[in-house]
Amino acid sequence: MNDLVFKGANDLVLTNSLLVAEKFGKEHRHVLDAIRDLIKGCAENSAVPMFEETTYINPQNKQEYPMFIMNRDGFTLLAMGFTGKKALNFKMDFINAFNKMETMLRSDDYILMRSQQILQKRVEMAEQKVRALEEKNALQDAQLRQAAPKVKYVDEVLQSVNTYTSTQIAKEIGMDAAKFHKALKEIFLKIFRFFFGEWKNIRNFAMSTTCRSGKTPMTSIGSYFFAKTLRM
């Protein structure tokens, strides 16, 4: 008897057109036609939908076909059109199945079980969020540890008052000294043309008025600026 109905979303007791057709010995297409006629008539005026069209897969040919899911009111409305002694017995079977399922869903044991299931699901979701945050924090910690030496180096360079020769900077960044001096002169010229000023007036690095190879002194900030520029 319980096979005549099933529990749907939000603990609604439902049946479907396939079950009705099988129980009442009718062709499924005729049951579908009857439901569609009801939907066109009084069923469409119901505040709560009694029928919902969906599909199923035929186990024999694997084809998809339409069917309807219905609640108790939808079944009652549909079954009104089925007459005869057998039809009356089938109606009672469905009504009893609806009643039994609804009683079970209202029982304290079921409510307690559902509450435990909902609580367990929320706990699992919370645990997933915690694991995700832990993984994110671990990744950030690893990135910080990896970047720490670079940050320390840059901080020390920017705070240092020492000066470095262009040859020392070229060696620091792993660049050929001759190529570095050539690139350095090009940068100097661009800055000079932009500001139209003297070399000594350019902020953030100190240098001689000429670019003699290997003998152009720069402050720590200036050396960091050129090293970063040439690596781009």
Cα(40)–Cα(47) distance, rounded to whole angstroms? 14
- DSSP sequence for the chain: -GGG-EE-GGG-EEEEHHHHHHHHT--HHHHHHHHHHHHHTGGGG-SS--EEEEEEE-TTT--EEEEEEE-HHHHHHHHTT--SHHHHHHHHHHHHHHHHHHHHHHSHHHHHHHHHHHHHHHHHHHHHHHHHHHHHHHHHHHHHHHHHHHHHHHHHHHH---EEEHHHHHHHTT--HHHHHHHHHHHHHHHHHHH---GGG-TT----SS--TT--EEEHHHHHHHHHHHH-
Two tokens, residue 49:
């939908």
**What is the overall mean pLDDT for the chain?**
76
Q: 63-77, 122-136, 205-219 — which is least confidently predicted?
A: 205-219
Sign of CA dihedral 192, 196, 201, 204: negative
6 burial level (CB within 10 Å; 0-12, 13-18, 19+): middle
Q: 43-88: per-residue pLDDT in tens? A: 556 645 889 999 999 988 999 999 999 988 888 889 888 877 777 7
pTM of the model: 0.42
List the Cα angle 24/28/34 in 5-degree steps: 85
- Determine the pLDDT at residue 185: 76
